[in-house]
Structure formats: C-alpha cells, structure tokens
Structure 1
C-alpha cells in the first residue's frame, strides 16, 4: 500500500512539473509572438481621414519601446488634386516607406512636399525614404544642424536602450543638398488646395515648422501642441513656446492636429499644453529663488489642471535638469 502511495506521489509530482514546464514554454512562445507581431504591425500603418483629404497616423501616448519602435507621434498627409504634402516622417526609414505606401493607396498623386517639424527621432528619422522619393523637403536650418550633430548618438542609444532596429536610419545618406531651409513662411499649391508652411521660430525646439491647410482651416502643429499627455520640454524655450500658443496662431482655425494626441476642435483643448508649460515655468523659477535641488522640484504639488495628463513624471525627469541650467543662465548669470 505504501509503495503505491509513493508511486502515485511521484507520478503526480512528475505530472505537475511537466505541466508547469509546458505552461512556461507556451507563455514564452505566446509572448514572443505578441511582441514580434506588434513590431510587425508598424508595417500595417493605420491612417484615418479625419477631414476631407487629411490623413493622420495617430501615435499612442506612450514612451518609445521595442514594440512600437518609436512610432509614437502623429504623421499627416494632405492630398490635393495634383500633389501630396506629408508632415513629419516617423522614427525610421522602414516606417516612412510603409507610410508612403499607405498614403498612395488613397491617392496616386506624387508626394511632392515633406515638412519636418523638428529634429526629434519620432518626427524626423524616416527622412531617407523621402530623399529617395525625390520629395522637396523643408526643415529649419538650426534644427537640421542638431539633427546631424546629435542624431547618430541618439540613434545608438535608441538601439541599445530601447531595442530599436539597427538599420532604422543612416545619417551618411542625408546632407544639406537634400533639404530646403525655411526661415519664415511660404505657400504651396497641391492642386485646388493651398497650404501654408511656416517656421514659427524657437519654441519647442530651435525652429519649429507648422502647416496650415486653407481648405479645412486646420493647423498641423507638431510638438508645439500635445493632447492628453505632458509636453516634452528638454530642448525648449518655455516662455517663447507659451507665447506661440497665445499669440501666433493668427489664422482662423477649426482644427489643430497636435504632435501627440487627437485633433483639437476648440480653444479650451489648448490648455493642456499651456497649463503644463506654466507649471514647468513656475517650478523652475521657484527652484531658483528658493535654491531647491532637482529632487525637491519632484516634490512640488502637481496642479489639478494637469493631473489628468499622461507621462508627467517621465517627462519631468527627462527635461528638468537641462531646463534648470538654462533658467539659471537666463535669470541669474
């Protein structure tokens, strides 16, 4: 009797071990498939025609990672009867190539113009695809300088720390001859559709480009505007940025398309970005006046107006040190 009990226990133990082993194998395999499928989904880019002839890829309000490969910002295509203008490239050559393919399913008109809002990877690292496409490319000159200077190192960090693909961009294929630098504004005609391209100047970065579609009275704002999440600010001039949002959207508008988040239809939706910038500005000035350290800034209470924003802590950590040094130079030295 004892022998059979021992045998039964051994049999059950073996069965349980085998079951647990199989469970972990299946879990690992399923996780592997999900991750790789998610990465592959970047080739199946979903575009939404939110307005007549205005296509938008909506990035998710999340940090870059191996799964999304940095496809976290909005990209826009404006389709005219003769040509297409694209606003921002996405995080890689592969993404940009897939975006172009999806746009061409809506219209076979040539993609004649590309506007690169600024140098950050989620907006500019797909530029090679448009160079190969012989697209007329517009960018701020200072932003291009930092794009070439800082870009290769940033790309290495994205590969090392976030699992980005190693061939997402080759900076040696990008030169000044490929870029048209814009200092002020110009108007292009896509065929029965006039579009204004404007360099708004120093704000979110050293030179932010925006676009205005006259047909739909829509501003395409890039990272001058964030919806639903805290605005990234490490490379910014915060007072100038606030001034842009308050005073420089001079044309009548029905819609604003932000760099991150969904399209905005009214003035009140601008408050997300403005209130966040007010908080950062006041916090930096308070830290300087009180002699507070960075760790103490993190303890400042978050105003109720921005409590709902995603990625507050992460965005604050990423930008506060650099901005504190800039504010000290501006207000002390």
Structure 2
C-alpha cells in the first residue's frame, strides 16, 4: 500500500515544514497515489489555513517512520515510551501506546504527544494488520497520550474517552499545545490539533472488535479527573493509562485519596500496561512501588497540615519525606515538588 506524504509548512522565512502522512486514503499502486494525492492534499490543507504545501510525494508503507512495538499478549501490541517527563525528553514521546486486534477491527489505546507520533504509531499498526481501525481510546487528557488523536480519526476511528475528557481537553488542550510548541519548537508539533471525543464513557462501555470485547471503565478523580481503563476480555490484559506509573515519578493531577482508593480495590487478570514504564505481569508488580510512594506522599502531607505549615514550608518538608524514593523514580525532583503542592492543596481541606 502507498500513502500520500504532504510536506506541510508554517508560513515563515525560512519555512518550517514537517511530513504529514495522509492516512485517510491508502492506495494499492504508486500510480493511483500520484494521480489522487494533489486532490487529497488540497482538501487536507483547506481545513488548516495556517499551513501551506511545501511538497508532495507518495511512499510505500515500508518507508514510513514507525514506532517500535512489542507483543504483550495475543493480538495486543505496545509501544513503550521514554521514561522521562516532558522537560527531560527530546520530543515528548514518553507515554506507552497500544493497540488490540480483533477479528473485525482494531482499537488503539492512546495516540501519542503529536501528530508525528500518531503517524508513527499508525505505520506500526499497518505493518502488522490492515484491518479497519474502529476506535481510538484516550485514557485521559494529558498530551503525551492524546495529541496524536487526529491521525486515527482521519483513518476512520471513533475517538472514545471519559465523560469528563472533552471538557478537560477543551479547557487545557490549547495551553498544553502552546507549552509543547515552546518546549520542542514548532516543527515537531506541526499539524497537531486538540481532538475532542466522539463517544463519552460515564461508567462502563463494551466495545466489540469481533470475537474480542474491550471493557472501558471510567474512574473517579485519581491521577486525573478523567481516567479511563481498558480491559481485554480475551487475555485479561489491562491498559491502566496513567493510573499506573512504573519508573517515572507518579504525577497527581486529580485526587491523591482517590488514586489510593483505586489501587486498594485491586485488579485481577493478565498483564497490566502502565501509562509509563514496563508492562507488569501482575497487580503487585504493577502498583507496589507506586502505592508506597503515594502513601508516603499522603502521610507526609497530612503531617505538614497538622503542623499548621503554610504551603511555602510544607512543600520542602513533604519533598524531604519523599527523598528516600529519589533514586527509584525518573524525573524525581520537579515531579516530587509538583506532587507535594497538589497534595497539600487537596488535603488541607479534608
């Protein structure tokens, strides 16, 4: 199969350009692609007035950049992201991303930090299967998981998320996009847009990929206020999103007690795919270190509150209590201070 590759450029002098894989229309032959690519490119650019065409070509699937993926269960493949926070990454490609192949279609779980990463995930999927991509499931609002979404919508997928995901992305998405553009420069983020969900999950939703059911479960505030998990019926594999961190310092952006309660409920089944870090074989391996870290975070925060410390004094005290964990978690110093601030602001009102 062949795809049209558009060089999309920001109007500047000199222009900043990036390759856009126009995933909506694959072609069986190079001749068909060359004949129809100009029309497809014009249509795509027509919805993006800030971009201009810098070139147009056709490429076979084998030539498209593709993310490395690994099989973690039958029909389930995962890309393991860099174990780092945005500030410590060269491109923001830090989240774990995955896909599940059913008899009739494919569901993608999380889409990456930019259109460029979404395209590389799309190419990885297409090297394994040409089945329709029916769903993109976004586990929560953070851009390392959500910002490649438009690639999969163009490929025909319905975008699925927590019932609060749309509001969260609408409120924070533009700021996230500006921040990533400032951090990495405009080139890596060209073509990236905030995509709101087509389907919202308030409680549970089953998705049938053909002989394979994915159960989506919305949680209360924990890592964020819009976390969604995905369990595969065929293998018991759980995609936990950022409800599970391994190796990278956990970030509280929802509710610390809520997150601890979610972990206390436990999970059974097959492998657990965390939002960051290696796939875990079982529940204790998945959450053991994270539970210990967050438990100490909660206890030290409550102690600071009980002592009547103001935020300016409480944060250093909480970070000091967390210091024994420093060697176990990547991107620890800044993340620990962020967690201490978030925990204090929440728990001082208990």
TM-score range normalised by the length of the shorter chain:
0.7 to 0.9
Q: Following superposition of structure 1 onto structure 2, how do residues 1-333 of structure 1 map, counting pairs within 5 Å? A: 43-65=65-87, 68-163=90-185, 165-171=188-194, 174-175=195-196, 179-233=198-252, 235-247=253-265, 249=267, 252-269=268-285, 270-292=287-309, 293=313, 294-300=315-321, 302-303=323-324, 307-328=327-348, 330-331=349-350
- Structure of larger gyration radius: 1
Q: Secondary structure at the match of 2:248?
A: coil
Deviation of 1:282 after TM superposition, in Å, equals: 1.0
Structure 1 residues 83, 68: closer, same or farther in 2, change over 3 A?
Answer: farther
Give the number of aligned pairs: 281
Deviation per CA, 1:242-296: give whole Å up to 9, x if none.
11111153xx312111000111113331211111110111121111111331233
| Equivalent-residue separation in structure 1 for 2:298 and 2:88 (angstroms) | 33
Shift of 1:207: 1.9
Q: CA deviation at 1:240?
A: 1.0
Structure 1's 66 and 149: CA in aligned 2 closer, same or farther, altered over 3 A?
Answer: same
For 1:162 and 1:298, the matched residues in 2 are separated by 28
Task: Normalising by structure 2, report the TM-score.
Answer: 0.75
Stretch deviating more after TM superposition (81-90 or 144-153): 144-153
Assess if the C-alpha contact under 8 Å between 2:296 and 2:321 holds in 1.
Answer: no
Q: Higher strand proportion, which one?
A: 2
SS of the residue corresponding to residue 86 of structure 2 reads coil
Task: Give the superposition deviation at 1:65.
Answer: 5.0
Aligned-residue offset at 1:301: 5.2
Which of the two has greater helix per residue? 1
Q: Which runs of 5+ in 1 are unaligned?
A: 1-41
State the SS of the aligned residue for 1:201: coil
After superposition, the C-alpha distances for 1:44-96 in whole angstroms (9 at most, x for unaligned) are 31011121111100002112259641110100100112110110110011211
Q: Gaps (5+ residues) in structure 2?
A: 1-63
Higher mean C-alpha displacement, 132-141 vs 203-212: 132-141
1:277 to 1:301, Cα distance in 2 relative to 1, 3 A: closer
Task: Give me the whole-angstrom Cα distance separating, in 2, the residues matched to 1:208 and 1:67.
Answer: 24
Q: Is the 8 A contact 1:92 1:125 kept in 2?
A: yes
* Large movers: runs of 4+ above 6 Å: none
- Deviation at 1:111? 0.8
